[in-house]
Amino acid sequence: MDKPDKQLKLFFAHLVSVTSRKPNLGVYAKRLKSTLALIGAIVLIGSLVLYIQGWMVVRKLDPNATQVMGSFIEKTLGSDFAAASTIKIPLSDGITIKNAVHAMKQRAMGHGMKLVDRLKLHKEVTEKTRPYLEVFSFQAPKINPLILGYNWEIATYMPYRIALYQDKGERAWLATMDLGLLIHGAQEFEPDFKSQMIAVKDQLLDIMAAGATGGQ
Q: How distant, in Å, are the alpha carbons of 3, 10, 22, 60, 204 from that of 17? A: 21, 11, 10, 67, 89
H helices, E strands: number in the chain: 8, 5
- For the entire predicted model, the pTM comes to 0.69
User: Which residues are CB-contacts of 147 (< 8 A; sequence separation ≥ 6)?
Assistant: 154, 155, 158, 193
Residue 88, beta-bridge partner list = 175
Among candidate residues 94, 95, 75, 74, the one with its CA nearest the CA of residue 84: 75
Question: What is the pLDDT, as a whole number, of residue 9?
Answer: 60
Helix, strand, coil % over all residues of the chain, rounded to 5:
60, 15, 20
User: Which residues are CB-contacts of 173 (< 8 A; sequence separation ≥ 6)?
Assistant: 88, 89, 90, 91, 163, 164, 165, 166, 167
Question: What is the pLDDT, as a whole number, of residue 74?
Answer: 83
Question: What is the pLDDT, as a whole number, of residue 93?
Answer: 92
Q: What is the pLDDT along the chain (216 residues), one digit of tens a residue?
A: 455 566 556 655 555 554 555 555 666 677 777 787 778 878 877 777 665 655 555 556 677 777 778 888 888 888 888 888 899 999 999 999 999 999 999 999 999 999 999 998 887 776 666 788 999 999 988 777 777 667 777 778 888 999 999 998 889 999 999 988 888 877 777 888 888 888 999 999 999 999 999 987
Among candidate residues 195, 142, 196, 163, the one with its CA nearest the CA of residue 85: 163
Query: Longest Cα pair distance anywhere in the chain, in angstroms?
Result: 119
Q: How far apart are CA 173 and CA 158, in angstroms?
A: 21
